[in-house]
Chain A
């Protein structure tokens, strides 16, 4: 049993980074995620593990610092909230194009524009469809508890290095700010120079010895045939993620006639909604995607022919609902897919969700 603590979601992200052997964090303050860098600055991990923490002049600088450090084979991360992630979109596209591993966190707030500092899930499209320019995908992990905030830091880095691809923890102001019991991971030492050579020596810019050719980290390729080959390689990688990395949770889906699909904070609400609906005699289940990319398409397709409908519950105008519709379409069966959402930083109540289900399906 690891160390048990009562902690805020944002603080746990910082603690988990230190404990998983992260080499560096580069960030810029923005509500509701500033506790991540504040916690790191109080913890001063540079004394303890050698982890570097730097407050950058902007989110644009943060993500490019991540690019530079990641390209030397280091385990590095950044975090921000919606408007800051938009500023990082260019850098994330470059990181994906240069095939670098890194972890970034979006503690989502309501938008568009400056929007609100209250929780939202309206950055779903930006997260799972790429977000910046060009054909690329990030691995997207959606924690629904403070415990998962802890667990997904290590998992995010593991997947980022496995696929040489940016990984994103997509959470929101509610989980970032909420306090819960968490079992912290044990300390893992940072990688040594030798380990970095072993894992990333083929591509990392660690300085060119006579024994090898220069390593160049770039997303640029002027030869269209070669650039298309790069794109094909990326697509193969994303396909492999879809085959091997899908993670989800199902609650009471076995006998369900209606399935709610929800992630993160919405999924916590829906857990209660399922209970309320069941008490009223409505057979409802919950499918909680844990990875939003890769999306649990196959699981949804499998359920499609056994249920009467899906309700996508999101804190947005309806984004994930499109992916559910695609999954349903691919199943060959035809059931209704509806959406219920609140926007602008409002979290729906469990009863509101049950009412929406009844209104749309019963």
Chain B
């Protein structure tokens, strides 16, 4: 059978979603952002919510997320995306609002905003990309940098005595009664991507069903910041990140009752 006989519209099984803007992303080769952007675009398309969606972009590598996913976007100040999203969703409760944040944005400078937004149970989806490093500014230590990990500000590896412990902020978030669904996923192979997409879908559905905050961490790579090839970065993540940041659901239930009303 000739290849030309296979490449026919009726045989098409996988292509770029219409919600993903047809342009080359600025991300480095192999960057997890691209994969997560893609599956978010696919879900917004498949779930028919493009017209109802407002995204909030962070400061970090994903600052230009609005160039890639064809929905209305707001670009927030560093770490403030959950507050910005709160403003949107409180005054527009019928909208599907999501934030897209990295680990420096969410777990360091924006720690207060994310904790309080999740604690209030703001009806929104949080997509949290954790690659243990500040990618955009050149690979500095993040709050999530694991023990011994080399970054440009921990050239000898993260030293707990000097830099403190890596922060498992998703575990903190899972304690908050405002969150309905908290999970940790990855996107390094096809199985992981498909699972991550199912989690994102559940998170989006929870928001559409007004169940409070859904929080999805994606343990990710930064091959440039880690100074590895993309394939080696995936292996390194599996061997070093996953033991510290184990994958799976941390919480999956409907929103717990607000204690103040009891």
A residues with a Cβ closer than 8 A to B are 23-24, 26, 52, 54, 56-58, 60-62, 64-72, 74, 76, 90-91, 94, 98, 205-210, 214-220
Task: Please list the 5 inter-chain residue pairs (A to B) with the smallest Cβ-Cβ separation, ordered nearest first.
Answer: A68-B87, A218-B75, A65-B87, A64-B83, A68-B84
* Apart from A68-B74, A215-B73, A218-B74, 4 more pairs, CB < 8 Å: A56-B86, A72-B88, A206-B54, A219-B75
Of the residues A56, A64, A71, contact of B77 by C-beta under 8 Å: A64
Contacts of B63 in A (CB 8 A): 220
- With known contacts A208-B50, A208-B51, A209-B51, A58–B112 Cβ distance under 8 A: yes
Interface window among B90-98, B212-220, B238-246, B253-261: B90-98
Q: Is the CB of A60 within 8 A of B80?
A: yes
Interface flag for B85 (CB, 8 Å)? yes
- For B51, B57, B77, B87, which residue has the most chain A Cβ atoms within 10 angstroms? B87
Please encode chain B, from 57 to 87, with 1 for each CB lying within 8 Å of some chain A CB and 0 for all others. Answer: 1000001001000111111110010011111
Interface flag for B116 (CB, 8 Å)? yes
Docked pose: A69 CA to B89 CA in angstroms = 8
Docked pose: A215 CA to B53 CA in angstroms = 11
Q: Is the CB of B95 within 8 A of A214?
A: no
Q: Enumerate 16 A-B pairs (CB-CB under 8 Å) in ascending A order.
A: A65-B83, A65-B86, A69-B90, A71-B84, A72-B91, A76-B87, A91-B77, A91-B80, A206-B54, A207-B50, A207-B95, A208-B53, A208-B72, A209-B51, A218-B73, A219-B75
Q: Quick one: closest B residue to A93, CB to CB?
A: B77
Q: Is the CB of B112 within 8 A of A68?
A: no
Q: Is the CB of B73 within 8 A of A205?
A: yes
Contacts of B45 in A (CB 8 A): none
Of the residues A26, A206, A208, A219, contact of B87 by C-beta under 8 Å: A26
Q: Is the CB of B90 within 8 A of A218?
A: no
Q: Is the CB of B91 within 8 A of A207?
A: no
Q: Quick one: closest B residue to A204, CB to CB?
A: B72
Interface flag for B150 (CB, 8 Å)? no
Contacts of A206 in B (CB 8 A): 54, 72, 92, 95
Docked pose: A24 CA to B77 CA in angstroms = 20
Q: Is the CB of A24 within 8 A of B91?
A: yes
Q: Is the CB of B80 within 8 A of A64?
A: yes
Interface flag for B163 (CB, 8 Å)? no
Of the residues A58, A69, A216, A219, contact of B91 by C-beta under 8 Å: A69
Taking the closest CB of chain A, its distance from the CB of B198, in whole angstroms, is 25
Of the residues B53, B56, B91, contact of A74 by C-beta under 8 Å: B91
Of the residues B53, B75, B116, contact of A61 by C-beta under 8 Å: B116
Q: Is the CB of B83 within 8 A of A68?
A: yes
Contacts of B70 in A (CB 8 A): 208, 214
Contacts of B57 in A (CB 8 A): 218
Docked pose: A62 CA to B84 CA in angstroms = 9
Q: Quick one: closest A residue to B77, CB to CB?
A: A94
Taking the closest CB of chain B, its distance from the CB of A305, in whole angstroms, is 47
Q: Quick one: closest A residue to B80, CB to CB?
A: A64
Q: Is the CB of B51 within 8 A of A207?
A: yes
Contacts of B74 in A (CB 8 A): 67-68, 71, 205, 216-218
- With known contacts A207-B53, A209-B51, A218-B74, A64–B87 Cβ distance under 8 A: yes
Of the residues A69, A207, A209, A218, contact of B66 by C-beta under 8 Å: A218
Q: Is the CB of B84 within 8 A of A64?
A: yes
Q: Quick one: closest A residue to B56, CB to CB?
A: A68
Taking the closest CB of chain A, its distance from the CB of B44, in whole angstroms, is 10
Contacts of B54 in A (CB 8 A): 72, 205-207
Docked pose: A71 CA to B86 CA in angstroms = 12
Taking the closest CB of chain B, its distance from the CB of A325, in whole angstroms, is 35
Q: Is the CB of B75 within 8 A of A68?
A: no
Q: Is the CB of B90 within 8 A of A24?
A: yes
Taking the closest CB of chain A, its distance from the CB of B103, in whole angstroms, is 19
